[in-house]
Amino acid sequence: MTLPNNYILERKPVKHARIRVDEQQTVRVIVPDRFSDSEINLLLDQKETWINNKLDFFTNRPVIIPLDKDQLLYLGEKYTFKKYDELKKQVLIDSENKIIQSDYDLLNPAIQLNWYKLEARKVILKRLEELAKPYGFSYNRVFIRNQKTKWGNCSGKKNLSFNWRLIKSPQYVMDYVIMHELVHTEIFKHTRQFWVKLKSVYPKYKESIQWLDRYGNGL
C-alpha cells in the first residue's frame, strides 16, 4: 500500500481508527493492528473531504510573525520600541540597533496605525521615484490605502495605489509590489509579456510573491 508523502500510517493496539492533520500538513493515520490495506483505503475514502478541508485550512491560514509586547514590525524586521518623552513629535528609527524611539506611544494601536500609514506614504513615495527613474516609468497620482485584498493597483489613468501594510514587509517585497505596478503602467494585463517585462526589471519577483503568500495575510 502506497500513501502520499505527507501521510504517515501507524498501526497500534487501539480499538478505533483515527486521523489527525497538523499545522505542517502531515496526515497521521492511526489504525488498529488488525486493519487490512483495504480497510485503510475505505477509511481514507470516507474521510477524504474532511482531510482536504483540514489541509486547506492550514494552507490558507495566515502565518503571524511573532512580536514581543514592546516590538514593532518595520520593513520586515523586528524593532524594539522605547518611549522617550524628550523627543517632541519625533520618531527616530535606529536601523542598526533595531530600535524605534518616540514621545508618541507607538504601542497604542490607534497611534501605531496612524504612524504606520504616514511612514508607508513617506517610504513608498521615495522608493517609487527611485525605482521608476532608471527604467523611464511614468505615473500620475499615488494613493496609500487600507486595501483588503490587494497590495497595489494601477488604474487606466496610471494612478497607483499601495497597501499601507507594505511598510511591515521586507524592502525587497515592497520593491516588488512597486515594480509590479510600474510595469502595469505600460502593460495593463497579466499577459506573458507583462511577466517577461517584470522579470527583466525585477528578477526577485518570485521570492517576493512567496513571502507575501506566506506572511501577507498576517500583517
Residue 52 CA, distance from chain mean position? 23
The one-character DSSP state at 148 is S
List the pLDDT tens digit at each of the 219 positions of the chain.
566 778 999 999 998 999 998 877 889 999 999 999 999 999 999 999 999 888 887 777 778 899 999 999 999 999 999 999 888 889 999 999 999 999 999 999 999 999 999 999 999 999 999 999 999 999 999 999 998 789 999 999 999 999 999 999 999 999 999 999 999 999 999 999 999 999 999 999 999 999 998 899 889
Residue keyed to cell 497538523? 22
The closest alpha carbon to 167, from 177, 179, 181, belongs to 177
pTM of the model: 0.75
The H-or-E segment that residue 7 falls in is strand 7-12
Residues of the chain with CATH 3.30.2010.10: 110-218
Query: What superfamily in CATH does domain 110-218 come from?
Result: Metalloproteases ("zincins"), catalytic domain (3.30.2010.10)
β-strand pairing of 99-102 with 91-94: antiparallel
